[in-house]
Amino acid sequence: MDLKLSDEDKLVQRTAARFVERELLQLEGSFLKQTKPFLPPGDPSRRGLDAHLRETLREKLKKIGFWALELPEEAGGGGLSHTACVLIYREFGRTALPFEPPSIPFVVKKSKFVERVVAGELSVALAFDETHKTGDLSEVGARYRKQPRGYCLNSSPVDVLNPSADIFILPAREEGLDKIGLFLLEKAMPGLVIDGEEDLTADQTVARLSLTECALDNDRIVGNEEDLCRLIATEQLHLAARSLGMGRRCLEDSLEHARNRVTFGRPLSARQAIQWMLVDLSLKLRTSTWLTLQAAWQADQGLPYFHSAALAKKCATRMAFDAADTAIQIHGGYGVCKEFPFESFYRDARLMRLLNGREDEINKKIAAQFVNQ
């Protein structure tokens, strides 16, 4: 057993940490700061990164090689291990600035779009609404059938969380059969409709994607059931990694605040109610960290890791939510203000808990494995 990071992983982690500190945390304050002294009536508007700034940051990312992380080097990607990706996303999770290396589903490498995707000209999103609930395949609702020179797809509306993407990856079940295929859909294709875009409580939108007799060429099927499971597990590791970063940031800032803030003649850090909250958080952070790293290591070793990734995702996203909740509580009135990052983490983490397998569904899967093992 050797739980030290390899030199290579350590380098990746340090590079990511430096980028986050120098490029992102520097900007976070001004990003969160309200622009007008007085608010207009109505709900706060959705926050997003300025397009120009986003472009600049993306170029910087490319320069340090943090681009298309999971894709193999021959496809123009970083060829990074699951462990390395976890270490990177974990660092990017520390800031409320909504920016991280784009996650490119590995199935894209099989498509003719791969070059334009790697070049950043096309963005890809997963249309995984159905799998969000269970983190498995039981809810896949879209249907396909083979037809001469390709496939025909139909799907009642599914929620997509990144409706502005250019390409969507959608799982569908073969009509009358149980076989699952992963399809690559271009936004502009006939039969594909995206509508009903609405704000979520996190700073992003959701829209409905539906397919009506949508005809696809043969090359648009980019994966099978196993690939879908791997994509879900990869997403789970991604969410877990981001959560670890959020958790660490919340803990760090809360410790700092508790040390400095004096009430009734003593610092908050002298109060057991505050200490206990932070102790519990540190424990959850630690266990989530090891569950996530272990799942990533299993993936890298070619060992079964779907269950571990699901467990890591469940524990880590819950930890991140609790971490944000604790940070808000310890910061009191400031905690709920949008100028501090905690309420943003709180809203994001609540959504992350709902994606790619809800707690209850993951618990049931783990229980089924336990009972049948």
Partner 1 sequence: MDFRLSPEEESLRVKVERFVREELIALEPDFERAPDIFMGSRWKSRAKLSSDPEIKRYTDLMEGLEKKAEERGLWYLDVPKKHGGLEVSNVAMIAATEELEKTSVPLELGNHVSNILYACQGEQIERFLLPCIRGEKTACFGLTEPGAGSDPSMLTTTATPDGNSFVLNGSKMFPTFADVADFVQVFARLPGTQGHKGMTCFLVETGTPGYRVTRSIETIAGTEPCELVFENCRVPKEQVLGEVGKGWALNQSWLGSRRFLVGMRCHGEAKRALYFLRSLIKGGLAEFDKLSSTLGAFVGELEALRSLTYFSAWKADQGLDVRSEAASVKLFGTELLHKVVDFALEVAGPSAYRKVHQLARIFRHSRSTRIVEGTTQIQHHIIQRTLFREGTAYLELM
Residues 68-87 that bind partner 1 (CB under 8 A): 83, 87
Collapsed DSSP state (helix, strand, coil) of residue 181: strand
The answer to whether 360 and 132 are in contact (CB under 8 A) is no
**Residue 220: which region, alpha, beta or left (left: phi > 0; alpha: psi -120 to 50)?**
alpha
Tokens of 343: 């309420």
Report how far residue 329's alpha carbon sits from residue 28's, in angstroms, rounded to the nearest whole number: 21
The answer to whether 69 and 88 are in contact (CB under 8 A) is yes
Tell me whether residue 211 or residue 268 sits nearer to a copy of itself (CB atom). Answer: 268
Out of 58, 110, 116, 133, name the contact with partner 1 by CB under 8 A. Answer: 133
Report how far residue 127's alpha carbon sits from residue 233's, in angstroms, rounded to the nearest whole number: 15
Out of 95, 111, 131, 289, name the contact with partner 1 by CB under 8 A. Answer: 289
Q: Which of residues 89-128 bind partner 1 (CB under 8 A)?
A: none
Tally of CB atoms within 10 A around 110:
16
Contact call for residue 238 and partner 1 (CB under 8 A): no
Q: Which of residues 276-295 bind a copy of itself (CB under 8 A)?
A: 276
Q: Which does 243 bind (CB under 5 to 8 A by kind): a copy of itself, partner 1, none?
A: none
* Farthest-apart Cα atoms in the chain, separation: 79
Tell me whether residue 143 or residue 271 sits nearer to a copy of itself (CB atom). Answer: 271
Contact call for residue 373 and a copy of itself (CB under 8 A): no
Report how far residue 300's alpha carbon sits from residue 278's, in angstroms, rounded to the nearest whole number: 33
CA distances from 140 to 99, 129, 323, 329, 330 (A): 30, 8, 32, 39, 42
Report how far residue 367's alpha carbon sits from residue 12's, in angstroms, rounded to the nearest whole number: 36
- DSSP code of residue 335: T
Task: Count interface residues toward a copy of itself (CB under 8 A).
Answer: 4
Q: Which of residues 170-189 bind a copy of itself (CB under 8 A)?
A: none
Q: Which does 358 bind (CB under 5 to 8 A by kind): a copy of itself, partner 1, none?
A: partner 1
Amino acid residing at 36:
K
Give the DSSP H/E element, type plus range, for residue 210. Answer: strand 205-217
Tell me whether residue 187 or residue 271 sits nearer to a copy of itself (CB atom). Answer: 271
For the bound state, the minimum distance from the C-beta of residue 210 to partner 1, rounded and expressed in Å, comes to: 15
Out of 16, 125, 140, 315, name the contact with partner 1 by CB under 8 A. Answer: 315
Helix axes 82-92, 7-19, angle to 10 degrees: 20
Q: Which of residues 248-277 bind a copy of itself (CB under 8 A)?
A: 271-273, 276
Owner of token pair 């193999």: 72
Tell me whether residue 227 or residue 361 sits nearer to partner 1 (CB atom). Answer: 361
For the bound state, the minimum distance from the C-beta of residue 273 to a copy of itself, rounded and expressed in Å, comes to: 4
Task: Count interface residues toward partner 1 (CB under 8 A).
Answer: 97
Tokens of 9: 């992983």
Q: Which of residues 1-40 bind partner 1 (CB under 8 A)?
A: 1-6, 9, 13, 34, 37-40
Tell me whether residue 220 or residue 248 sits nearer to partner 1 (CB atom). Answer: 248
The answer to whether 90 and 14 are in contact (CB under 8 A) is no
Q: Which of residues 152-181 bind partner 1 (CB under 8 A)?
A: 159, 161
Tell me whether residue 271 or residue 358 sits nearer to a copy of itself (CB atom). Answer: 271
Q: Which does 44 bind (CB under 5 to 8 A by kind): partner 1, a copy of itself, none?
A: partner 1
**Could you list the residues that contact a copy of itself (CB under 8 A)?**
271-273, 276
